[in-house]
Amino acid sequence: DQNTSMLAYVRNRLIAATSLEETGSTGRRKASEIKDNNFGRLFGVLAIVRSGILAPSTDSEEEQVQDILDTSEAYLNDLHALYNFKPYMREPAAHAVCTLVNAFFRLAKENNAATQIVSKLVVGSVIPLFLKNGDEGGDDTSPVSFDTFSAEQVALALNLQTNASLLDVSDDSHSLVILKEPVLTCQTIPAIASALAGTCTVNQPRTHLVWDTVWLYLTTESTSSSDDGSSRAVDQRILRTISIALTGQSESITSDNPLDILTAIMNLVVLEKLVGGSSTEKQEGGEEEATKGQSAHERRALALALVRNMMGVEFVSSLSGRTTLALDSDCIGSVVLQPNVIRHLLLDVVCAGVSGKRNQGDHLLKPVASATLEQLAQKITSFEAKLVVLKALVSCEPRFDGRTRTATVHDLLGLNKTDDDISPAYQTMWRDFIEFLQDRILKSAQHGIPGSAQDEDMNDSDVSDTVSPHEAAGLCDLMYNLAKRIVRIGAAAPGEKEQKEEEAEKVALELQKFRDSALQQIMSFMLAISFVHGKASEDKSSSSSKKKKKKSKSKEPTSKAVQVASTIERIGGTIPYDTRKILSSRFYSLLSDSTNAASHSLTANKKEIAMLGVVSYIANEYKDLEKHGYSILPAENRDDE
């Protein structure tokens, strides 16, 4: 027909090519043929949208705009028919709808014609066809209820609300209910939690379309650019500071910020529905309702994928392509890596079959969890994020690498790095981690104190605040392993240092200063923990020294060992005997390693000075402890403590 426009002609050709011919009254089509034709029509619509022929120009005439609008509405009707054909067609059809409207959203910022088209499409087609009633219930007379929405409807609604500021619609429109009421808030998440958890049937590592829209709704594109000034191949996104303002609202309709929403998703969806979910769920009346074929393996696989994405590991989004979520360190530590997440998703899964029957080693989720740990260790580049992950893993299990039989903590710490790779950022991370380990070991002094938190009923949130003797021993070994790597800093041949340039020599001196200060901090801690047994009784010498101190106005600097001993005294507990025994053994080993490293890394005329410097430092710390009245060498019997 000569009156048919080019856009309508293309659509008619697509419909004709993907339509099945009549087979007669007795003929039947195979299900595979029908499925192929439906997917062919879907892929054809996507190809037409991505070709750009539907994009209006800035100087498009009214007739051209109307032609684009009519053709787009026809495509939406085609997608609606595919959406309702079979459940397996819902997500692909919803993705095609998002692709179509997003093509106009991208032009709406600078093209008024695109704004008019997408506004009419949303109000006249998308909302009436896909979001008027819930897929899981409801009718035309009942108001919109999010608890009847399927995951695909949540995805469509979130995609519209993410771009609500680009729409030009009147506030009195009845269809704007879906645009005025936010789908993703702390109040609505309990209603849509089951729909979100139901997406676990999608094969990993891909996640359902709804999660791609959730990340786009909660995050915004980072403004940072690559080092060379070129555009990034990976879309890096950061958490929004405020919620999206919806249509008809001057500001966000709720006080929920994206961080609160993300916390609710972790608690209500990941932990409660996915990690804590089983083969049955209880209804409000107390009766158990079988889930829709969703095993615990599928639920935990989805939980692992979500945690992996939130940790900053690159994933492929169906809407934004290659994407990374750059959440801040506080969010990762407090929201994502909760103790229950580490314990049930990582430890319990990776350790399945380690001790027990042989066939338990073929755990279905074990490869997924192991790959997640490997990606965490390799893909996280921020030192702040590394430190947060290290603290979370070690707080939950000090022997994390040993139990999981991986090198996650080892790689995050960078124990295999060369001296050239130990940048100031690495040094800062190691210092902070050493302080963290020492604080955790000191918390073992509270173990067994009458009236302490460990003598009362504790939940999972209290576990990270207490340290058992067994955990303290693991922390001691971890600190010793880090100290052994620090000892090897600067272990170069004597002739190499003379050939270094001035800048390289300056860096080497900074590394040696860091090595000496870090080792002194660790050995002073081990000395005070292992060999201090409380305050000795005051004698005349101590009283006379106190009188002399009163006369002097300036105070002498307190040694590191005395600071640790005073901290234990302030806590009021006792370091467990096994912990002190392990630290005393590690102390002598580290002292031997330090003197040996000093003798091999320096020239002959400085070798003896360095070795004596290590020993003299320990002797001075020992004397300072005695000077402050601390009793050295603990009792040999545990009962005497």
Amino acid at 499: Q
Q: Tell me the CA distances in angstroms from 212 to 47, 219, 321, 337, 420, one per residue in order.
A: 21, 11, 10, 21, 40
Report the share of the chain in percent with pLDDT over 90: 23
- Predicted local distance difference test score (pLDDT) of residue 462: 43
Report the share of the chain in percent with pLDDT over 70: 75
Average pLDDT over residues 513-530: 87
Average pLDDT over residues 506-535: 82
- b/e per residue, 595-617, with b = 16+ CB within 10 A? bebbeebbeeeebeebbeebeeb
- Using CA atoms in the order 585, 591, 596, 597, what is the torsion angle rounded to 10 degrees? 110
- Predicted local distance difference test score (pLDDT) of residue 104: 92
Picking from 590, 578, 598, 576, the residue whose alpha carbon sits closest to that of residue 618 is 590
The label of the residue with tokens 């890096």 reads 236
Name the token pair of 396: 């939950």
The label of the residue with tokens 């090595």 reads 515
Name the token pair of 167: 């729409």
- Predicted local distance difference test score (pLDDT) of residue 492: 52
Picking from 466, 467, 481, the residue whose alpha carbon sits closest to that of residue 433 is 481
- Predicted local distance difference test score (pLDDT) of residue 535: 66
Q: What is the pLDDT of residues 531-586, one digit of tens each?
A: 877 665 544 444 444 444 454 444 555 778 888 888 877 877 778 888 888 988 99
Q: What is the pLDDT of residues 50-87, one digit of tens each?
A: 999 998 887 778 888 899 999 999 999 999 999 999 99
| Alpha helices, H only, 84-147 | 90-108, 112-121
- Predicted local distance difference test score (pLDDT) of residue 102: 94
Average pLDDT over residues 423-442: 91
The average confidence (pLDDT) of the chain is 78
- Predicted local distance difference test score (pLDDT) of residue 170: 67
The label of the residue with tokens 């959440």 reads 327
Q: What's the rounded Cα separation, in Å, for the pair 450 and 548?
A: 39
Is 89 a residue whose pLDDT tops 80? yes
Amino acid at 54: L
The label of the residue with tokens 């195979």 reads 30
- Predicted local distance difference test score (pLDDT) of residue 28: 64
Q: What's the rounded Cα separation, in Å, for the pair 302 and 306?
A: 6
- Which H helix or E strand runs over 298? helix 296-310
Q: Tell me the CA distances in angstroms from 134 to 152, 302, 566, one per residue in order.
A: 10, 24, 64
Is 395 a residue whose pLDDT tops 80? yes
Q: HEC string of 149-196?
A: CCHHHHHHHHHHHHCHHHCCCCCCCHHHHHHHCCCCCCCCHHHHHHHH
For residue 177, name the pLDDT band (cuts at 50, 70, 90): confident
The label of the residue with tokens 């912990």 reads 579
Q: Tell me the CA distances in angstroms from 543 to 375, 399, 626, one per residue in order.
A: 60, 46, 14
User: Which span out of 17-21, 127-131, 281-285, 294-298 was modeled with the highest average pLDDT?
Assistant: 127-131
Helix axes 502-531, 560-571, angle to 10 degrees: 40
CA atoms 6, 10, 15, 21: torsion sign: positive
Which residues lie across from 282 on neighbouring strands? 288
Average pLDDT over residues 293-300: 71
> CB pairs under 8 A, 24+ apart, for 396-401?
396/339, 396/342, 396/343, 396/347, 396/463, 396/464, 397/342, 397/343, 397/347, 397/474, 398/440, 398/471, 398/472, 398/473, 398/474, 398/475, 398/477, 398/478, 399/474, 399/477, 400/347
Q: HEC string of 497-531?
A: HHCCCHHHHHHHHHHHHHHHHHHHHHHHHHHHHHH
| Alpha helices, H only, 311-365 | 329-331, 339-341, 348-350
Q: What's the rounded Cα separation, in Å, for the pair 174 and 629?
A: 80
Q: HEC string of 21-37?
A: CCCCCCCCCCHHHHHHH
Q: What is the pLDDT of residues 129-142, one digit of tens each?
A: 998 877 766 555 55
Name the token pair of 289: 């309702």
- Predicted local distance difference test score (pLDDT) of residue 546: 47
Q: Tell me the CA distances in angstroms from 177 to 128, 170, 247, 367, one per residue in order.
A: 11, 12, 10, 44
Q: 25 or 104: whose pLDDT is higher?
A: 104
Which residues lie across from 316 on neighbouring strands? 322
Q: Tell me the CA distances in angstroms from 457 to 344, 405, 466, one per residue in order.
A: 21, 32, 12
Q: 508 or 358: whose pLDDT is higher?
A: 508
Is 172 a residue whose pLDDT tops 60? no
- Predicted local distance difference test score (pLDDT) of residue 233: 82
Q: What's the rounded Cα separation, in Å, for the pair 495 and 194?
A: 67
Q: What's the rounded Cα separation, in Å, for the pair 641 and 635?
A: 7
Amino acid at 411: D
The label of the residue with tokens 């009549």 reads 22
Task: Assign 559 to helix, strand or coil.
Answer: coil
- Predicted local distance difference test score (pLDDT) of residue 26: 54
- Predicted local distance difference test score (pLDDT) of residue 215: 93
Q: What's the rounded Cα separation, in Å, for the pair 73 and 298?
A: 37
- Predicted local distance difference test score (pLDDT) of residue 223: 73
For residue 21, name the pLDDT band (cuts at 50, 70, 90): low
- Predicted local distance difference test score (pLDDT) of residue 27: 56
Picking from 376, 331, 592, 337, the residue whose alpha carbon sits closest to that of residue 484 is 592
Name the token pair of 459: 């939940």
- Predicted local distance difference test score (pLDDT) of residue 552: 45
pTM attached to this predicted model: 0.79
Q: What's the rounded Cα separation, in Å, for the pair 616 and 614?
A: 6
Q: What's the rounded Cα separation, in Å, for the pair 262 and 184?
A: 10
Q: What's the rounded Cα separation, in Å, for the pair 536 and 562?
A: 14
- Predicted local distance difference test score (pLDDT) of residue 348: 83
- Predicted local distance difference test score (pLDDT) of residue 416: 86
Residues 6 or more apart in contact with residue 200 via CB below 8 angstroms: 274, 294, 298, 299, 301, 302
Q: What is the pLDDT of residues 158-168, one digit of tens each?
A: 999 998 888 87
Q: What is the pLDDT of residues 253-294, one digit of tens each?
A: 444 788 899 999 999 999 999 887 543 444 444 434 434 445
Q: What's the rounded Cα separation, in Å, for the pair 430 and 414?
A: 9
